[in-house]
Amino acid sequence: MNFLDELKNLKEQVKSENKLNIDFDFDNIVISGMGGSGIIGSIFQEFYSEKPVIPISDYGIPSFVNDKTLFIAVSFSGNTEETLNNVSEAKEKNAHIIAITSGGKLAEEVEDHIIIPAGMQPRSALGNMLMPLLNTFIKPGEESINSTYEALDSMDRDHSEMKAEAFKIYGNSYIPVIYGSRPFKSVAYRWKTQFNENAKTFAFYSYFPELNHNDTMPLKSAYRRDEYIFYVFESDNNRINRRIAVTQEITGEQFNIVHTPVTDPVAKLFYLIHYADYITYELALIRNVDPTDVSTIEELKKKLS
């Protein structure tokens, strides 16, 4: 699959009916994963609040993990060191472990696993890795899935708006800064990582209201402030929208507001994710770098293995 086909595959992934098989009681959920797989835990945490959810993109699990913990290991390759390390620790604590992976050591080590299709970049398999969690705990209905599919499909047919953003970034040598807000704080982080991995550029992120307590200072008077471009996600929360408006008013910065032309929360989530897929893909092409290439990350993993 070439990278554009990987992007276009996202809409098919949201139709996945995979679910976790849960026939036990649990008090908390710990989700371990790195990079393109790790983002699944933080996205899910913003959508589900019935029980504590702790996403981990690091070595080590919390000391509260025990036989009442649902421990979900997400690794596209199934060979990510930090995730495998955490699975061993979770086993020692008798946690209920479920893996979401395309194979690798993780599939061998965790009996209860969901196998997702290989043959694409981990970051392009976001739908395949996230849907089992949403299907199990959020249960989006047919209408929600259809509206998500349609939103993604229309972007796949025409992404000229995102291409124009890529040209704007390149033409002005901008450094992207992305500001999210709940339940899309982790989507702002996903944008950052897509800029990093697809376009091979630095990007930064934060979220409202927290950034009103720090980033607001350089917004007003940053050194080399003209070198940054600010993307801010439209919100459904009036207080957040008020903050966005007042922040612009007092700092003089004109944010690029990313509108979400859909109402369903799952459709919004995937729309925002896909928006950055296309900006970063186009930016890679303009810069003449391969959006698929993550060879430096792979080299590093090899050296450490």
Query: Which window, 47-55, 60-68, 115-123, 135-143, contacts ligand F6R (CB under 6 A)?
Result: 115-123
* Distance in Å, CB of 41 to ligand F6R, minimum: 12
Among residue numbers 29 through 58, which ones bind ligand F6R (CB under 6 A)? 34-37
User: Binders of ligand F6R: how many residues, by CB under 6 A?
Assistant: 15
Q: Is 181 in the site for ligand F6R (CB under 6 A)?
A: no
Binding mask 211-250 for ligand F6R (x = CB under 6 A): ----------------------------------------
Partners of residue 101 on adjacent β-strands: 75, 115
**Active-site position among 6, 82, 165, 197:** 197
Q: Is 198 in the site for ligand F6R (CB under 6 A)?
A: no
CB atoms within 10 A of CB 155: 21
* Distance in Å, CB of 197 to ligand F6R, minimum: 6
19 is catalytic: no
Q: Is 76 in the site for ligand F6R (CB under 6 A)?
A: yes
Burial of 111 (0-12, 13-18, 19+ CB in 10 A): exposed
Q: Is 77 in the site for ligand F6R (CB under 6 A)?
A: yes
213 is catalytic: yes
163 is catalytic: no
**Active-site position among 213, 249, 302, 303:** 213
Q: Is 65 in the site for ligand F6R (CB under 6 A)?
A: no
**Binding ligand F6R by CB under 6 A: which of 55, 122, 180, 183?**
122
Q: Which residues bind ligand F6R (CB under 6 A)?
A: 34-37, 75-77, 80, 83, 121-123, 197, 294, 297
Catalytic residues: 197, 213, 301
